[in-house]
Structure 1
Amino acid sequence: MSPSAEESTGGSGTASSSYSPLQPGFYVPTVAFFTPEDTIDEAATTKHATELAKAGVTGLVTHGSNGEAVHLDHQERMLITMISRKALDNAGLTDIPVIVGCGAQSTRETIQLCQEAKESGGSYVLVLPPAYYGSLLTNDLIMNHFKAVADASPLPVIIYNFPGACSGLDLSSDVIIALAQHPNICGVKLTCGNTGKLARVVAGTENTGFRTYGGSADFIIQTLAVGGHGIIGGLGNLAPKACLEVMSLWQSGKHDQARELQKIVARGDWTAIQGGFVAVKVGLQKYRGYGGEPRKPCVLPEGPKLTEQEEGFAELMAEEDKLGK
């Protein structure tokens, strides 16, 4: 299983020689911000990272599913990570980690992205399985991919299981538990929503440094109830305090209050789930005054659809504002 910070990762010798296990908590996969000229909006990126950190989130994730990674070139990826890291450091929050999405379709490019993540200030990497040629990939080939990446990555690897972004490819609990034995694979994000799988992974990696996170804010309680370590969830872009409050209430034994707030969070998250990162940008623009356009071919909705998404976040954002007072 995953080692303590003092144990060597082994592998090819290019991987990180040690790592600290990820802290339990709520991590936010940030959206990408663009200027009207379609370049990276550095000011908005800085502002957003700083606001999230001050709200108390445990860490940030660049180039997750909310971050339009597939719309970015390598230099843009590095720039966003560097800006995010610098924003945290300038706010005196040097201990907050930045997890960097590094999924690609080839093992070679995935390793390259991991190396660039290290260069740009990342703390950990989040890796989707390759899926474009999914019909040709057996479990053994997928596991070999993750092991090769973990051997070569200078940062600890978090497995990212998200069938919706991977042509339906869904890693089983058996595969994840087996991969958890690699000394440079430190955790998993489960956006599949399978809480039974989550419970099995928690049980199968108990008493190790391996961390298991739910991948959506609509099952915070379910994750914590079976011993999961927290959430990596895009809804935190909009309502970090509400998401953190669900966790706090549950962990302090205020289960009825936690359940009531979880219902509100889940209803808001349904708007984000249906509309994807574009809906999150709609919410940011409506309720926080910044967000901007996605990169084409994606566009913001108009008319009734725009209103529907804005109103879908209203209850949640009212709760978020209450918690901010």
Structure 2
Amino acid sequence: MQSLMGTGVALVTPFKKDFSVDTEALTRIVNFVIEGGVEYLVVLGTTAETATLTSDEKELVIQTIKDANKGRVPLVLGVGSNNTAQVVEELKTRDFSGFTAILSVSPYYNKPTQEGIYQHFKAVAEASPLPIIVYNVPGRTASNILPSTVIRLAKDFKNIIGIKEAAGDIVQAMKLIQNKPEGFLVISGDDMITLPMVLAGGAGVISVIGEGFPKEFSEMVRLGLNKRVDEAYKLHYKLADSIDMIFEQGNPAGIKEVFMHLGISENTVRLPLVNVDENLSERLQKFIKNLN
């Protein structure tokens, strides 16, 4: 899974002002991030507002990204639910041609125990035709996957090849890196602590800010992987304020505002999300102007 080292980006789903999927803008975004140097793309993650997409819209997004990518970089598909049987059914019936791996979020809302989380991913691993990246994001799921559970899954199922670790806890991330089996990928899911995680032995990031500033962010990660610490931190601090800003009023409202200022897509989001306020929009515009 060396192809999933470095920077992956969680693609947004751009909408037109009438809230329909903007396939032309999505094609522009795919080209923008690949030309910016990212290593792979994550399709239908949280940042894609997947929870608000119909089945037909999901298929449209998948096909648009595959057509735009033209096989240039690996694609990872988000397949997750708080209904284990539903995930298993999708894994058994979906066409995964063109995809390298699956990103599967820990069950949200149900608040399972560690044993429940283990049994969920056991069922997912046994059903999946592709390698799996587990996604731990306690801020959205209301439960944390403990390092001991992750290591247990990694050792028991060879097709569980990594974790997107988004607990925002560098100590927890370091415990994962310390105790993981050889070859298991510990991927940052938190843009602000990506560099320290990479320097500690992490495999890279699945990023949101890397979508808006792919050239700078992917270069920072490559420098970190090559242990060029001072150069990497120079880029980290260059981007740090923008990372805070894009999450200040919710994801993907912040990153969509960046794309609007870059002239790549509209800033439209679907309810229950709303656009960022005028103050934040102006600050993001100023940041982009100064960066360039």
TM-score by length of 1: 0.83
8 Å CA contact 2:256–2:267 kept in 1: the answer is: yes
Q: Which residue of 2 aligns with 1:192?
A: 167
Q: Distance in 2 between matches of 1:253 and 1:98?
A: 26
Match of 1:278 among 231, 253, 260: 253
How big is the shift at 1:35?
2.6
8 Å CA contact 2:261–2:285 kept in 1: the answer is: no
* 1:114–1:235 distance in 2 versus 1, CA, 3 Å: farther
The 5 Å alignment of 1:110-121 reads 110-115=87-92, 118-119=95-96, 121=98
How big is the shift at 1:242?
1.2
8 Å CA contact 1:58–1:96 kept in 2: the answer is: yes
How big is the shift at 1:316?
5.5
* 1:290–1:245 distance in 2 versus 1, CA, 3 Å: same
SS in 2 for 1:180: helix
Deviation by residue 1:16-53 (Cα, 9 ceiling, x = unmatched): xxxx4543100000111123333221111111112111
8 Å CA contact 1:224–1:230 kept in 2: the answer is: yes
Match of 1:314 among 278, 286, 290: 286
* 1:112–1:307 distance in 2 versus 1, CA, 3 Å: farther
Q: Distance in 2 between matches of 1:176 and 1:317?
A: 42
* 1:115–1:144 distance in 2 versus 1, CA, 3 Å: same
Q: Which residue of 1 aligns with 2:272?
A: 297
The 5 Å alignment of 1:39-118 reads 39-89=20-70, 94-115=71-92, 118=95
SS in 2 for 1:179: helix
8 Å CA contact 2:14–2:266 kept in 1: the answer is: yes
SS in 1 for 2:4: coil
Q: Distance in 1 between matches of 2:205 and 2:10?
A: 10
Q: Distance in 2 between matches of 1:172 and 1:22?
A: 26
Q: Which residue of 2 aligns with 1:123?
A: 100
8 Å CA contact 1:217–1:265 kept in 2: the answer is: no
Structure 2 residue runs of 5 or longer lacking an equivalent are none
Q: Distance in 1 between matches of 2:121 and 2:225?
A: 33
Match of 1:171 among 116, 132, 145: 145
Match of 1:152 among 115, 122, 127: 127
How big is the shift at 1:310?
3.7
How big is the shift at 1:249?
3.3
- Identical positions, percent: 25
* 1:236–1:317 distance in 2 versus 1, CA, 3 Å: farther
Deviation by residue 1:45-99 (Cα, 9 ceiling, x = unmatched): 111112111111010111222110111122322221221111111xxxx251111
Matched, 1:139 2:114: yes
8 Å CA contact 1:78–1:116 kept in 2: the answer is: no
8 Å CA contact 1:27–1:60 kept in 2: the answer is: yes
Q: Distance in 2 between matches of 1:317 and 1:184?
A: 44
Matched, 1:33 2:6: no
Q: Which residue of 2 aligns with 1:5?
A: none
Q: Across the two proteins, how many residue pairs are aligned to each other?
A: 290
8 Å CA contact 2:79–2:105 kept in 1: the answer is: yes
TM-score by length of 2: 0.91
Partner AA of 1:298 in structure 2: L
